[in-house]
Structure 1
Amino acid sequence: MQLINPKNGPKAIGPYSIAVKTGNLVFVSGQLPITDSGELIKGNIKKETEIIMKNIELILKEAGSSIEKIVKVNVYMKDISKFSEFNEIYEKLLNGHKPARAVVEVSKLPKDSDIEIEAVAEV
């Protein structure tokens, strides 16, 4: 097992690793829409989704994987009515790749974020 904590990527906000690589899989912990400067973005689900997916891409690259190798995604949203806006950006950033996915509306997320995304990918 290898812990993945990119130097130039998102930082853990608790006692966990950003990702864990084991065998031929990498498990990416739930990511919030946090910019390179550490700012949490809120109020624009398209921008939030873009930031998270770019962070996941960076993490996967560090682990020797890529967006195209994602096999499963879990999405947690505070407002499921923004699903179509989220989906528009998600689909665009995956460029035709369609991993298995679940989207769930939740009442609260860390740092009062609007969205959190976790992923599992092959290496």
Structure 2
Amino acid sequence: MNRNTIDAAGAPAAVGPYSHAVRHGGLLFLSGQAPFDPQTGEVVAGGIEAQTRQVFANLESVLTAGGSSFTEVLKVNVYLTDLDDFEAVNAIYGEVFTEPYPARTTIAAAGLPLGAAVEIELVARDSQS
């Protein structure tokens, strides 16, 4: 298998042994992005709305580095430590994606790295293929 990895300069450094994304077979598989500030590596302050916006900014950096965009997203997985945050996250999600919407799963997680409240991963078409 020819695995082409993508590391985005504008996204926070990985907190483990993984790449920001992998390109394979016309698809980009993005690792989960948490609400880490790319400069400090810390979770952004300001609650679930600020965290969700930072997650989408980080995802956009990775998509851009991979030559793709939110319009090419096929599948999204959202991880929340508190399902009471669903409506707030869903509202911001609706600002990022337009119809036809990608497929999505939302999962309650017992915990996320560095105390984050939200993490999102996705699969997108590789617009370079």
Smaller-chain TM-score bracket? over 0.9
- Residue 28 of structure 1 is matched in structure 2 by 30
1:57 to 50, 56, 60: 60
- 1:80 pairs with 2:70: no
Give the RMSD, CA atoms, in angstroms.
1.3
Pairs aligned (count): 123
Gaps spanning 5+ residues in structure 1: where? none
Query: Residues 76-121 of structure 1, C-alpha deviation per residue, up to 9 Å, x if partnerless?
Result: 1000011101101111122445100000111111112111100000
- Residue 98 of structure 1 is matched in structure 2 by 101
Deviation at residue 36 of structure 1 after TM alignment: 2.4
Contact 1:25-1:121 at 8 Å conserved across structures:
yes
Q: Give 4+ residue runs of structure 1 displaced > 3 Å after superposition.
A: none
Q: Distance in 2 between matches of 1:8 and 1:81?
A: 30
1:9 to 8, 11, 22: 11
Gaps spanning 5+ residues in structure 2: where? none
TM-score by length of 1: 0.93
Identity of aligned residues (%): 38
Deviation at residue 58 of structure 1 after TM alignment: 1.1
TM-score by length of 2: 0.89
Deviation at residue 11 of structure 1 after TM alignment: 1.1
